[in-house]
């Protein structure tokens, strides 16, 4: 397959073609996901939970993210590669630039930052220096203690308005992609239609431009999966077949189904 670039993903949004994204943490799974037709891979700081056994993403370091990004990059063939910037690695634009450079040099095509409007200056700084940014809003796991737990965001009219305006302003600041986590489906749809950049959803309904799941969750390895998770290993004989099923379900719009969505 031809390498998927940021321009490819933007074109897919414009044409209404769904984008399938999956987290990945090593070379072997990167190869399998590529063979299964995945569009983009996210080296997520979720590795702190699914690989290291922590109860949050907060302990993950820049060095660990760099290591895993390089591992995934070596197994990657065509997928667009996004890497998470871990907790407190982008507390200022200068700090963000220094740490994002490490992830890009490790093989990432884009970095992802969690936050709110305070991300604006860092997004501008990174973009001006040739580093594409995916802004992550809604439920932001790195701020789980501020949010009071892993809760759906944007349920009230005021919260929904703030998230919509934040998405628009971060796009204007130069964010090249947006990730929405755990927000009501109707809000996610409204945000996706209001900005030109691709919007990735996780627990954000079926009308975002892309879907992402944590690899271990979609393989049924989590004993207590979130509402928005589907086990794609059911009735499958291989991991490659499960990922192919996930990609197909994203592409044809059958995932996420109604039971995976937050509707208020």
Residue reference for tokens 């970095």: 111
Per-residue model confidence as pLDDT tens for the chain (264 residues): 899 999 999 999 999 999 999 999 999 999 999 999 999 999 999 999 999 999 999 999 999 999 999 999 999 999 999 999 999 999 999 999 999 999 999 999 999 999 999 999 999 999 999 999 999 999 999 998 887 778 999 999 999 999 999 999 999 999 999 999 999 999 999 999 999 999 999 999 999 999 999 999 999 999 999 999 999 999 999 999 999 999 999 999 999 999 999 998
CA distance 165 to 191: 9
Q: Where are the domains of the chain?
A: 6-260
Say if residue 5 carries a ligand binding annotation. no
User: Considering Cα of 222, then 65, then 91, then 112, what sign does the dihedral take?
Assistant: negative
Say if residue 13 carries a ligand binding annotation. no
Beta bridge partners of 40: 21, 80
Closest CA to 87 of 120, 44, 128, 50: 44
Dihedral of the CA atoms 139, 106, 95, 151 (nearest 10)? Answer: 10
* pTM exceeds 0.95 for this model: yes
Say if residue 127 carries a ligand binding annotation. no
What secondary structure letter does DSSP report for 264? -
CATH homologous superfamily of domain 6-260? Phosphoenolpyruvate-binding domains (3.20.20.60)
The per-type count for the chain, helices as H runs and strands as E runs, is: 11, 8
Say if residue 46 carries a ligand binding annotation. yes
First to last CA, the chain: 40
**Which residues are tagged catalytic?**
181
Say if residue 114 carries a ligand binding annotation. yes
Q: Burial level of 217, CB count in 10 A (0-12/13-18/19+)?
A: buried
């Amino acid at each position: 397959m031809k390498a998927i670039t940021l321009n490819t993903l933007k074109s897919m949004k414009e044409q209404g073609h769904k984008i399938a994204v999956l987290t990945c943490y090593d070379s072997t799974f990167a190869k399998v996901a590529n063979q299964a037709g995945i569009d983009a891979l996210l080296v997520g700081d979720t590795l702190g939970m699914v690989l290291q056994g922590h109860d949050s993403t907060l302990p993950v370091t820049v060095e660990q993210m760099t290591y895993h990004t390089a591992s995934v990059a070596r197994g990657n063939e065509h997928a667009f590669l996004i890497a998470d910037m871990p907790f407190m690695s982008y507390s200022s634009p200068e700090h963000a630039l220094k740490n994002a450079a490490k992830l890009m040099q490790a093989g990432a095509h884009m970095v992802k930052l969690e936050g709110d409007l305070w991300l604006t200056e860092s997004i501008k700084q990174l973009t001006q220096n040739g580093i594409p940014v995916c802004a992550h809003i809604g439920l932001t796991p790195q701020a789980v203690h501020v949010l009071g737990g892993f809760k759906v965001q944007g349920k009230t009219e005021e919260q929904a308005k703030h998230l919509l305006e934040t998405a628009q302003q971060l796009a204007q600041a130069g964010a090249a992609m947006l990730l929405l986590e755990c927000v009501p489906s109707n809000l996610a749809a409204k945000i996706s239609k209001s900005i030109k950049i691709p919007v990735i959803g996780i627990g954000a309904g079926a009308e975002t431009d892309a879907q992402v799941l944590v690899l271990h969750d979609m393989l049924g390895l989590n004993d207590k999966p979130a509402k928005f998770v589907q086990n794609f290993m059911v009735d499958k004989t291989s991991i490659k077949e499960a990922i192919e099923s996930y990609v197909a379900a994203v592409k044809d719009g059958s995932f996420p189904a109604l039971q995976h969505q937050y509707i208020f």
